[in-house]
Amino acid sequence: MKKTIVLAAILVAARTAHAIPYETFIDVDDEEDLNDLLSSNAIEQDTYDELLDVLEQGVDLNTASRADLYTLPNLTYQDVDKIIAYRSLNKGRINDPADLVAAGALTQEQLLGIASFIVTRPPIENPAAIHGWLKAESRFSYKDKVAPPIALRARVTFLKHWTAGIGMTTTRLEIGEPQYDPTRDALIADPAHYSAKIAKAYVKYEDNDYNAIVGSFRAGFAQRLTFDNTRHYTPNGLYLDDQVYYSADLTTECKQSAGELLNSPCAGAAASKYETPDWVWRDSLFGVGAGAKKIELETGWIQAYMFGSASRRSIYQYELVEHYNPDGTVHCADPHDDADPNCAAPTVYVRPNGNVLTPTTQFSFTTLPNMFLEKLVGGNVSYFHDRRNSVGITAYGAEETSLVNGLDLSFQEWSSHPFGNRFGAAGGNFAFGKDWLDVAGEATLSFDNAPAYDQTLTKAHGGGGPAGLLRFTATRKKEELEVVARYFSTDYDNPYARPISESDEFDGQRARDEAGVRVRYIRSSKEFVLRTLADVWYNPSTGIPKLDTYVRANVRTTDDLWLGLWERYQDKDLSRGGHDQCFEVSTDADKITGAPIPCGGRQLTSIVRAKYDINHALDATLMLEHQLLDDNTKDEYLHSFRQDIAAWLIVLYKPSNDLRFRGRVRYLDEAIHDDTYLERSLSAIADATFRVRNADHLRVRVDTKFWLDQRAATLLREPNPELTFWLQYEAKL
C-alpha cells in the first residue's frame, strides 16, 4: 500500500522545482508563449517555472544587479556586463532599451527576446502617481457540477518606491481543516465546499540602497545551496510573491474510499469522472524581510538581509506520520520501516452530517489544508569588493509545529519536509570574476533533529550533513561555457536548498545524496545556434553512476525558416545494460523496506523542429518527437525499447497590436504498438486576445482533448472529449 501511495505522491504532489539553463532561444510575449514551449518539450518544467517568475516579477534595467540581469533569457555574463557598463555611462539610467542595440551592448534579436521580461520606468514626474494592473480570470468544463473557480490578482506601485500586491482565489475542491477525532483515533474533516481565500498579499519598499517587505515573499542567495525558495538561477535578496497558478489538466471528481462503509462512493464509473481543478499557489515565506543592499565602504560595500516567517503549510495526506503518542512515547521511530503499522499515514475521515459517530467514508489522495505552522528565521551578510567579487554567509533555522490538537505529526521519509520537524543550514559563499572567467562557490552544513535511523533500512543517519558546489563560467562573444561540480552528502537534508542538481531524489530531496559534474556550452550566431549539456553524477549511498546529455542544433536556412535537430540521451544506471529495467516508474520493491527501487533504464529522445515566419504577422512551428525508453512492465519490452511518438503544430497570428490569435495541436502516442497500455490522445487549444481599452486586454481560450486509447479507465472516462473554457481580463492602472 505504501509503495502505491509513494508512487501516486510522486505524480501528484507539488515539488519545489530546480532551475536549469535555458535549453532554447526564448522569444515570448506572455505566459501562453511559455506554455507553448513547455508543451512542445522545447523547455522543461524547471525552466518554465523560472521564466514564469521572471516574467511575472520583471527585471528593472535601471536597478537590477548583475545576478538579476543574468536571469534574463538569451544573455551571457558578457552581455550583462555590457548592459551595466552602458548604464553606468548614462548616470545609472536606461531610458530606452533600444539604446542598448545602438550602443552595441545587445543585438536586435536579444533585445526582442528579453523585451517581455524587462521593466523600464521613465523618471517619475509625480511621485504620488499610482501604476499597476488588475487581472481576473476563470475557467470551467462543460461537465462541471459546481461554480467555476475564480482567480484575482492585483499589483500597484505608488510613492515611487512602494509596491503592494494580492492574489485571491475561490476554492471549490479544498476540504475543511482536519481535526483529531479521539473516538476514531484518526483525523476527520468537512467535505469540500465553495469559499474564497487570500493566497498572497504583501507591501514592499525598495530603492537603490534598501529593501523591505511585509507579507508573502521569497528569498535566495549565492548558489542556492544554503537558502533559496525563489525560482531564479542566481538570486540575491528578497522578492515579491503574488502568484497563483493553474493546471491545464482536469482532476478526478471523487477522492474518497470506503472507510467505515462497505462500498466506496468512488467505485465504478464514479472513479472516472473529471472536473476543473482549483487554482493553486506555491508556498512562500510569510512575515517580514528587510535588508541593506549597499552599505558603502572605502573599498566595496556590504549587503545585509534578515527575514522571519510564520506560515501555514498544507500537505498531501500520505506524507504525514504520527511521531509521538499523547503520553510522550514514540509512536513511529523510523518512517522508513514499511513493516511498522504505526508508521502508516493517519486516516482522514469525512465528517458525516448530523451524528459524528455515523459510519462514514475517508478521503483519498487529498491535500490537507493548514496542517503545520512553519516558523523560520534567516539572514545573509556579504561583502562585495565589486559586482563580480564577493564573499558572504547565509544561515537559517526552522521549526514546523502541528496545528492539529491531539496528534504529534511529522513526515514520511519520502516527504520534502524533514522527519523531526526542526531543521536549518549555515554556509559560506564566494564569487570571483575577471575578464572572461567567473568562479562562484558555496559550502553548507545542514542540521536537523531527526533521530538516528535504523541502518538496515536506510543509508541516512539523521542530524544533518555537508554539501558544496563550485561553478565556473567562461564567456566570450557569442559563446558561453559553464562547468559545475557539486557534492551533496546523504545526510544533507535541507528543503530550502535549490542548487543545480538532477531530478532524482533521496528521501524527498533533490539536492541530496548526489555528486557530479555538469558541463554546458552555448554558441550562437545569426545563422546557427548550438546548445549542449552533459551531466555525469552518482549517488553516494548506492554508487550508481548516471548520465544526462543533450545536443540541440538550430540552423537558419532562409530568412524566414529555422530548422532544428535535438537529441537527448539519459541513463539512470551506467553500470547496467539490457532492457529488463524501468526508466519512468519503478515496478520493483526492496525486500527489506518495501520501498520502490529506483529505475535504472535509458531513454533516447529525438526531435526535429521547423519554425517558419510566414509574414510579419503569422508564424508556425512544427515539431516531431520520437522516444526510445526501457520499460519492464510488459514482456514485449524486456528485449527492446518501448517507442513513443508525439507531434505539435503551433500557429501564432498577430494582425495588429489590438488582436492576437494562437492555436496549438498535439498528438501523443505512448507505446505505439499497444493502445491498451498507455496514453494516446489528441489535444488542441484556440486562444484569442483583444485590446479593449488603451491598455486593457480580454482573453478567451478553449481547450479540448480527445482520449483515443483503449485502456479500461479511458473507456469509462467522463468527459471524453474534454472541453474547457477560459476567460481572462487584465486592466492596467
Helix (H) or strand (E) holding 7: helix 2-12
pLDDT band at 15 (very low <50, low <70, confident <90, very high): very low
Cell 548506492: give the residue. 542
Using CB atoms within 10 Å of the CB of residue 658, give its burial: 0 to 12 exposed, 13 to 18 middle, 19+ buried: exposed
Q: What is the pLDDT of residue 120?
A: 66
What are the cell numbers at 650? 503551433
Q: Is residue 292 part of a domain?
A: no
Q: What is the rounded distance in angstroms from the CA atom of residue 234 to the CA atom of residue 387?
A: 13
Q: What is the pLDDT of residue 254?
A: 93
Q: What is the rounded distance in angstroms from the CA atom of residue 566 to the CA atom of residue 479?
A: 19
Q: What is the rounded distance in angstroms from the CA atom of residue 165 to the CA atom of residue 204?
A: 9
String of DSSP letters for 230-285: S--SS--EEEE----B--SS-EES--EE-TTSSS-TTSGGGGGBEEPPPPB----E
Residue 343 has what DSSP assignment? G
Q: What is the dihedral sign for C-alpha 228, 231, 236, 240?
A: negative
Segment 198-212, tens digit of pLDDT: 999 999 999 889 999
What is the total count of domains within the chain?
1
Closest by Cα among 668, 664, 638, 669 to 652: 664
Is 1 a residue whose pLDDT tops 50? no
Closest by Cα among 521, 538, 539 to 530: 521
560 Cβ contact list (under 8 Å, min separation 6): 612, 613, 614
Length of the chain: 733
Rounded (5°) CA angle 170-174-179: 130
Closest by Cα among 440, 480, 470, 385 to 77: 480
Range name among 34-43, 188-197, 250-259, 431-440 with the lowest pLDDT average: 34-43
The predicted model gives 343-365 an average pLDDT of: 94
Q: What is the pLDDT of residue 233?
A: 87
Range name among 5-19, 108-122, 410-424, 658-672 with the lowest pLDDT average: 5-19
Q: Give the residue numbers spanning the domain of 569.
A: 543-656
Closest by Cα among 505, 501, 420, 437 to 467: 501
CB 683 within 8 A of CB 665: yes
Q: Is residue 463 part of a domain?
A: no
Q: What is the pLDDT of residue 256?
A: 94
CB 49 within 8 A of CB 90: no
Q: What is the pLDDT of residue 121?
A: 63
Distances (CA, A) of 47 to 102, 233, 665: 30, 9, 22
CA 99 to chain CA centroid, Å, is 34
Report H helices in 22-114.
31-39, 45-57, 66-70, 77-89, 98-102, 108-114
Is 713 a residue whose pLDDT tops 70? yes
Segment 261-317, tens digit of pLDDT: 999 999 888 889 999 999 999 999 999 999 999 999 999 999 999 999 999 999 999
Segment 22-35, tens digit of pLDDT: 777 788 887 878 88
Q: What is the pLDDT of residue 326?
A: 82
72 Cβ contact list (under 8 Å, min separation 6): 54, 59, 80, 114, 117, 118
Ranked by mean pLDDT, which of 64-68, 375-379, 449-453, 586-590 comes out on top? Answer: 375-379
Q: What is the pLDDT of residue 125?
A: 55
The predicted model gives 60-84 an average pLDDT of: 87
Helix (H) or strand (E) holding 169: strand 162-171
Ranked by mean pLDDT, which of 69-73, 126-130, 333-337, 396-400 comes out on top? Answer: 396-400
Q: What pTM does this model have?
A: 0.90
Q: Is residue 105 part of a domain?
A: no
The predicted model gives 155-161 an average pLDDT of: 90
Q: Is residue 99 part of a domain?
A: no
Q: What is the rounded distance in angstroms from the CA atom of residue 514 to the CA atom of residue 540?
A: 6
* One-letter amino acid of 380: N
Long-range contacts of 714-720 (CB under 8 A, 24+ apart): 716/269, 716/271, 716/272, 717/272, 717/274, 718/143, 718/269, 718/272, 718/273, 718/274, 719/141, 719/142, 719/143, 719/274
The predicted model gives 543-559 an average pLDDT of: 94
SS3 89: helix
Using CB atoms within 10 Å of the CB of residue 492, give its burial: 0 to 12 exposed, 13 to 18 middle, 19+ buried: buried
What are the cell numbers at 431? 564569487
CB 319 within 8 A of CB 308: no
pLDDT band at 127 (very low <50, low <70, confident <90, very high): low
Closest by Cα among 313, 353, 316 to 193: 353
Q: What is the rounded distance in angstroms from the CA atom of residue 486 to the CA atom of residue 468?
A: 6
The predicted model gives 44-56 an average pLDDT of: 83
CB 536 within 8 A of CB 545: yes
CB 552 within 8 A of CB 566: yes
β-strands 118-119, 59-60 pairing: parallel
Q: Which residue has the higher pLDDT, 21 or 364?
A: 364
Q: Is residue 639 part of a domain?
A: yes
Q: What is the rounded distance in angstroms from the CA atom of residue 609 to the CA atom of residue 647?
A: 10
Q: What is the pLDDT of residue 311?
A: 96
Residue 95 pairs in a beta bridge with none
β-strands 697-707, 544-556 pairing: unpaired
What are the cell numbers at 291? 535588508
Cell 536586435: give the residue. 108
Residue 412 has what DSSP assignment? -
Average pLDDT over the chain, rounded to whole? 90
The predicted model gives 499-526 an average pLDDT of: 93
Q: Is residue 613 part of a domain?
A: yes
Q: What is the pLDDT of residue 594?
A: 57
Is 495 a residue whose pLDDT tops 90? yes
**Buried b vs exposed e over 253-277: b needs ≥16 C-beta within 10 Å?**
bbbbbbbeeeebbbeeeebbbbbbb
Q: What is the pLDDT of residue 98?
A: 87
The predicted model gives 186-194 an average pLDDT of: 95
Q: Which residue has the higher pLDDT, 127 or 554?
A: 554
Is 20 a residue whose pLDDT tops 70? no
Q: What is the pLDDT of residue 122?
A: 56
Q: What is the pLDDT of residue 51?
A: 85
Q: What is the pLDDT of residue 592?
A: 55
Q: Is residue 521 part of a domain?
A: no
Q: Which residue has the higher pLDDT, 695 or 211?
A: 211
% of residues, the chain, pLDDT over 90:
68
* One-letter amino acid of 167: G
Q: What is the pLDDT of residue 5?
A: 46
Rounded-to-5 percentages of helix, strand, coil across the chain: 10, 45, 40
Q: What is the pLDDT of residue 9?
A: 41
CB 501 within 8 A of CB 20: no
Q: Is residue 676 part of a domain?
A: no
Widest CA span in the chain: 77
Residue 91 has what DSSP assignment? T
Segment 667-676, tens digit of pLDDT: 999 999 999 9
The predicted model gives 81-89 an average pLDDT of: 89
Is 585 a residue whose pLDDT tops 60? yes
